[in-house]
Structure 1
Amino acid sequence: MPTRNNLYIFILALGVFGILTTEMGVVGILPLIADYYQISVAKASLLVSLFALTVAISGPIMPLLFSGINRKKVMILVLSLFLLGNIVSIFASNFTVLLLARVIPAFFHPVYCSLALTAAASSVRKEDAPKAVSKVMMGVNAGMILGVPITNFIANGTSLEMAMLFFAILNALALLATLLFVPSLPVKEGLSYGTQLNVLKKPIVWTAIATVIFISSATSGVNSFIAEYLESVTNISGTFLSIMLFIFGLASLLGNIIGGNLLSKNPIKTTTLFPFVLGIVFLLSFVTGKTPSTMIITIFLWGVLFSVGSMINQYSMTLTAPEAPDFANGLFLSGGNLGITIGTGIGGLFISGLGAQYIVIGGILFLILSLGSILLTNYMIRPGKQLTGIN
């Protein structure tokens, strides 16, 4: 049984890795996509922002609609749609076709991710659930973090089509493994729609949603254009660019550890100080941005703080709605992807109007807004409580 559960959880992790890599991998190749289709980088960023907007819209809705269907059937459906979208992307003759091939599967993104977290927890004993969920989260983080440099490396070493093929292979492997090794998973009795929706009556849930949106906007408004920033401001490309993106990815993995330790020791202090620290690092880019050797330090710090910000978002959202964890996961995905949409949109405007060096200004503006929502959340917390919002 332990071996079977480990295989099942690995397949779930592989599935979310493939889906998240499909979503975020294009961040590292936006300049290549812009050149290939003869469009601006700002327009190419629609591949990120519209995908994220779609997830933001479907995040609270789709997991609820599919909650009563056999989980294996849902997994097969979602992975099949992503695989089909990846195949179409390989042969897309124009940018509109490429955009549609990404947006349509994106509606089902939160279905699989929410399902994976819930299914992993229910596959083991209650006391082992956090460990099972953490393994699936590794797939999520790896897709968001490592998918970018891997995709950039493949595209620069071969072609844009091969990078799209990489997405297809990941989703095909997860689909095949699901078909062969995952048993039928009928859904047992769960929470009613009304019970889950009731968490929206809590004001503190809305301040947490605002924090997720603002922090995600701040980080994605900068991180979505890392490749463009390094090429146009730092004047690096090719293999060195891939190395810099890998540094960002490795730093982000370290950020998971740092963020977890900080949040476990003092969550309120960590969340309150985060906007100040990331704001200082954003400003640091004006000093280091044009010099490759010093920009390595800034990229490393961006990576660490990217993961810390993601962990703050997840921590805040899930703990403000502990009575409905599945719905909270949907809200987290929705708010985070809405933030990606807004952040990449504003970042694109700064690139078009002022140049890539000034994308951090948009990030700083969103950090100021996030500080407001964080302070409001702290004010609403009763003495002795930590981001639970429980009365």
Structure 2
Amino acid sequence: MASPVQPATHSEPAPVARRGTGPALFALSLGGFGIGLTEFIIAGLLTEVSGDLSVSISQAGHLVGGYALAVVPGALLLTPLLMRRPPKYALAVLLGFFIVGNVLSAWAPGFGVMLMGRIIAALAHGGYFGIGAVLAASLVPASKRASAVAALFAGLTIANVLGVPAGALVGQQLGWRAVFWIISLIGLIALAGLVALVPRTEPEQGQLPIAAQFRALVRPQVLASLAAAALVFGGMFGVFTFIEPLLREVTGYSTAAVPWLLVIFGAGLFVGNIVGGKAADRNPDNAVLVLVILLPIVILALGAVAAFPVPVAIVLFLLGAVGFATVPGLQARVIRHATGAATLASATNIAAFNLGNTIGVSLAGAAIAAGCGLRSPTITSTAVTLIGLAIIVAARLRARRTPDPVVSSTSTSVAKGNPSWISI
């Protein structure tokens, strides 16, 4: 996901260390790389996994949806339990879940154990990025906080651009289980780096009590933002999960070509994250509106050109670019309206993205299972995204009629010299 936006707190602690933060940030980023690889790698191995575990393509898709769904309790239950602990300790615990889950996935003798491994690994997802963002920011001066958090999320981006295609290639040559053993090793290295390189810091100051933080999550604008994030990203992910069989069986690409096509998609993610971040810096609400109007058009275009190799590669790049360009603005919006609950809101929004993945994948898989063909996910995903667009429009209209008093007071604080910081 994109990196979160943190509101100003009443207490701005001095950075823990101004020297040697590069290795610490690299260790944090490596954990993000492993988590991103775990989430997305199945999309490039779906045919191999389904064949080896003797399940259908649509049933194998539940390995994606199950992971995404498990991110939600991980974010909402583990994050509150751990964020009162030193961040280094909390992240070590979360990486423990990640490693155990991936070892189970690599060893899995059947679909049930594989699904269990995916769920255990997913419990680390939301909390790692929510708590990790706060920790990364605490390691540097205020003027460099955006860069520090960007470094954390660089691992997630690199996982999509290079890790997933490379993993698909390794899976084709050595088997899909080898990929999960490698991911487990990455988790162990990240844990060792965390222990050795990341300094111990105190829990974040200036946040509301836990009960008040959960109340902040049910503010109308926060709920609207979370719902929109879930549906918009779920629409994109519903298409992406089944992209490998689409490219092979409808477009006619060979198995060997799929990793390179995933590189094209990953390049779109990279470009989209940069462009979406810059657009969100200027005006996150307008950026989100424009991009979410474009996204269903791109998804429909993918279905329309699915039989043509060159056009489908171009639209695949656009799908990654437009889909991920929505993330910074959506992330910025939910954090802005959840003032005083920065870490929990950050983790919850990541959970919302993954809950949306479950919705998108489930609908797309049901359409395929019903015999509607491998292009049908473009229809179901378009519908999901359009519902997200309707929520965004409704939330904007409500905000104009009834301004959020919490956001208004924060804006006043910023104007008086207590600036928030944004990291995209």
1:267 to 284, 295, 298: 284
Give the aligned partner of residue 356 of structure 1.
374
Q: What is the SS of the residue equivalent to 1:304? A: helix
1:58-117 deviation digits (Å, cap 9, x = unpaired): 322321111122322222222223222222322221111111112123223222221111
Provide the C-alpha distance between the structure 2 equivalents of 1:203 and 1:194, rounded to a whole number of angstroms: 17
Identity over aligned residues, as a percent?
26
1:388 Cα deviation from its structure 2 partner: 8.2
Alpha-carbon offset, residue 193 of structure 1: 0.8
Determine the C-alpha separation between the residues in 2 that align with 1:385 and 1:264. Answer: 20
Give, as a single letter, the amino acid of the residue that structure 2 aligns with 1:107: L
Cα drift, residue 389 of structure 1: 4.8
Using a 3 Å threshold, how does the CA distance of structure 1 residues 221 and 63 change in structure 2: closer, same or farther?
Answer: same
The farther-off stretch of 334-343 and 80-89 is 80-89
1:210 matched to which residue of 2? 227
Question: How do 1:311-330 residues align onto structure 2 when only pairs under 5 Å count?
Answer: 311-330=328-347
Partner residue in 1 for 2:131: 115
Structure 1 residue 368 and structure 2 residue 400: aligned? no
Amino acid at match of 1:282: I
Q: Report the CA distance shift for 1:172/1:379 in structure 2 as closer, same or farther (over 3 A).
A: same
**1:243 matched to which residue of 2?**
260
Aligned to 2:106, which of 76, 79, 90? 90
Following superposition, the deviation at residue 173 of structure 1 comes to: 1.2
Answering whether residue 181 of structure 2 is matched by residue 182 of structure 1, we say no
One-letter amino acid of the counterpart of residue 360, structure 2? G
Distance 1:114 1:89, change over 3 A: same
Distance 1:147 1:47, change over 3 A: farther
- Which residue matches 1:75? 91
Query: What's the CA shift for 1:57?
Result: 2.6
C-alpha RMSD over aligned residues: 2.2
8 Å CA contact retained: 2:248, 2:255: no
State the 1:190 CA deviation. 5.2
Q: Which amino acid aligns with 2:109?
A: S
Amino acid at match of 2:44: G
Shift in CA distance, 189/267, structure 1 to aligned 2, threshold 3 Å: closer
**Kept in 1: contact 2:339–2:407 (CA 8 A):** no
- Change in CA separation of 1:167 and 1:286 when aligned onto 2, cut-off 3 Å: same
Asked whether the 8 Å contact 1:78–1:108 carries over to 2, the reply is yes
Alpha-carbon spacing, 1:9–1:385, altered in 2? closer, same or farther (3 Å): farther
253-262 or 76-85, which deviates more? 76-85
**TM-score (normalizing by structure 1):** 0.93
| Alpha-carbon distance change, 218 to 200 in structure 1, aligned in 2, over 3 angstroms | same
Count of residues in correspondence between the two structures: 391
Structure 2 CA distance for partners of 1:237 and 1:65, relative to 1, 3 Å = same
Instruction: Identify the match of residue 301 of structure 1 among 318, 337, 357.
Output: 318
Given the alignment of the two structures, is residue 220 of structure 1 paired with residue 230 of structure 2, yes or no? no
Deviation at 1:25?
Answer: 1.4
Deviations 1:36-73 (A, max 9, x none): 11111111111111111111233223211111223222
Amino acid of the residue matched to residue 101 of structure 2? Answer: G
Change (3 A) 1:104 1:390: same
The change in CA–CA distance for 1:355 and 1:90 in structure 2 (over 3 A counts) is: same
Q: Distance in 2 between matches of 1:264 and 1:79?
A: 31
- Report matched runs for 1:1-391 at 5 Å: 1-187=17-203, 189=205, 191=207, 192-353=209-370, 354-382=372-400, 389-390=407-408
Normalization by structure 2: what TM-score? 0.86
Change (3 A) 1:307 1:54: same
Task: Give distance in 1, aligned partners of 2:352 and 2:97.
Answer: 23
Query: What is the DSSP-based 3-state SS (H/G/I as helix, E as strand, rest coil) of the residue aligned with 2:52?
Result: helix
Decide whether aligned partners of structure 1 residues 201 and 251 sit closer, same or farther in structure 2, where only a CA change above 3 A counts. Answer: closer
How many Å apart are 1:379 and its aligned residue? 0.9
Deviation at 1:229, TM superposition (A): 1.4
Letter in 2 for 1:296: A
Q: Please give the per-residue CA displacement for 1:228-286, whole angstroms capped at 9, x wherever unaligned.
A: 21112112132211110101001110111221232233433322222331222122123
Task: Name the SS of the counterpart of 1:233 in structure 2.
Answer: helix
Q: Which amino acid aligns with 1:352?
A: A
Distance 1:365 1:93 in 2: 37
- What CA distance in whole angstroms lies between the structure 2 residues aligned with 1:169 and 1:388? 44
Offset of 1:321 from its aligned partner?
1.7
Letter in 2 for 1:113: F
201 and 357 in structure 1: CA distance in 2 versus 1, 3 angstrom threshold: closer
- Structure 2: distance between partners of 1:224 and 1:345: 10
8 Å contact from structure 1 (residues 381, 388) kept in 2: no
